[in-house]
């Protein structure tokens, strides 16, 4: 496992623009997600408290970025 690291929005965008396959996971709760006008296309929605229940489903061959507001 590569470990956990903070990454900026600009770095994520640059890496994606360079062709890196990045999995985005929106960890907001249902209320915050539904109230927000910002939803990234293709992002998975998994509440942060349930991430550990989905670890086996996540790819191991690409960078995973979790985010919330």
Q: Which domains does the chain have, with CATH numbers?
A: 9-67 (3.40.250.10)
What three-state secondary structure class fits 43? coil
Q: What is the pLDDT of residue 13?
A: 94
Prediction pTM value: 0.84
The total of other beta-carbon atoms located within 10 Å of residue 6's CB is: 5
Give average pLDDT by consecutive 10-residue segment, the chain, 69 residues: 82 95 94 86 92 93 91
CA-based Rg of the chain, rounded to a whole angstrom? Answer: 12
CA–CA separation, 66 and 51 (whole Å)? 10
Order the strands of the 22-26 sheet from edge to edge: 44-45, 22-26, 63-67
- Cα dihedral angle (7, 29, 26, 59), rounded to 10 degrees? 110
């Amino acid at each position: 496992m590569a470990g956990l690291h903070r990454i900026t929005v600009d770095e994520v965008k640059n890496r994606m623009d360079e062709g890196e396959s990045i999995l985005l996971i929106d960890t907001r709760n249902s209320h915050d997600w539904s109230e927000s006008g910002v939803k990234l296309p293709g992002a998975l929605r998994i509440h942060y408290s349930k991430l550990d229940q989905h670890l086996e489903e996540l790819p191991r061959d690409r960078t995973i970025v979790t985010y919330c507001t």
